[in-house]
Amino acid sequence: MNDDYPSSSGSGASWLDKLSKAFSSDPRNREDLKTILHSAAETGILDSESLTMLEGALSMSEMQVRDVMVPRSQMVVINHDADLDDFLPLIVESGHSRFPVIREDKDEVEGILLAKDLLHHFSNGRAAFDLSRVIRPASVIPESKRLNMLLRDFRAGRNHMAIVVDEYGGVSGLVTIEDVLEEIVGEIDDEHDVEDVANIVELPQGRFRVQALTPIEEFNELFECELSGEYFDTVGGLVLAEFGRLPEVGESIAILNYQFDVVAADKRRLHMLEASILG
């Protein structure tokens, strides 16, 4: 038997002991760690899914927060002076569970609001609501922080979100524990993620839920209109071009006699829009 990978009943460190040591050792040993992982997979000690997760964990140890953070422009925030009735629809639409609370702009983060903290307010018969009494302190970290260290801090502090700042102290984005874990286990879908449903769904009050990947031809046929499909195949592509940038959730734009509201997006693409007829 190869002395590098003795059985658990033999003398010396097992492959798992070597693996644990390699994860905590100098980055120069990561090539050795990759060799250990693939050898374990080839001998059947690891299945393919476990190998993928361990390789993800290894890659995570080499990544920084800036590599996975939600950029400033895509942060869904709540203004400290806003009334509950003003920001409650935003909470419902976004499907997020945590929201940075800001003052004048996104560089002035007052704290973090947990959506679940609103339940106590509603259970009290909608008594006077004071946002400052329910927000929690915000954890602030630099862009350069390594993901493995951030995950350790998240676990130790029982935090799920941190505000990311650049070298000048300005807010450059935010990062959640889900962003970190997805580097290990892959994309995590939940009940708020976009599902495989009809491209266009009618809503109350003359509004329509439109998936960003809806073909323009399908939209035109349903509404008997003529959105331009010369350069773009999908409604989302057309909306993105009209904005000239990746818009934030809650932003709106008019195209012909239709208004499109962004209701679901991430840091890379649009997911869902709501359309209504103007006039």
Which CATH number belongs to the domain containing residue 127 in this structure? 3.10.580.10
179: nearest Cα among 146, 155, 138, 147: 147
Contact yes or no for 175/152 (Cβ under 8 A): no
pLDDT of residue 82: 84
pTM over 0.85: no
CATH number where 234 lies: 3.30.465.10
pLDDT of 19 reads 47
Q: Are residues 155 and 85 in the same domain?
A: yes
pLDDT (0 to 100) of residue 262: 92
Where do the DSSP E strands lie in 45-121?
A: 70-71, 78-79, 98-102, 109-114
How many domains is the chain built from?
3
Domain assignment of residue 39, yes or no: yes
156 with 109, same domain?
Answer: yes
Both 104 and 171 in a single domain?
A: yes
| The domain boundary residue, chosen from 138, 157, 185 | 185
Identify the pLDDT of residue 11.
Answer: 36
d(Cα 10, Cα 4) in Å, to the nearest integer? Answer: 11
pLDDT at 44: 73
Q: Which residues of the chain have pLDDT under 70?
A: 1-34, 37-38, 40-41, 46, 48-53, 55-56, 123-127, 185-197, 267-268
Is 122 domain-assigned?
A: yes
Domain span at 139: 66-185
23 within a domain of the structure (yes/no): yes
Residues 6+ apart with CB under 8 A from 32: 22
Residue 195 forms part of a structural domain: no
Terminal Cα-to-Cα distance of the chain (whole angstroms): 79
Q: Quick one: pLDDT at residue 161?
A: 94
Is 194 contained in some domain?
A: no
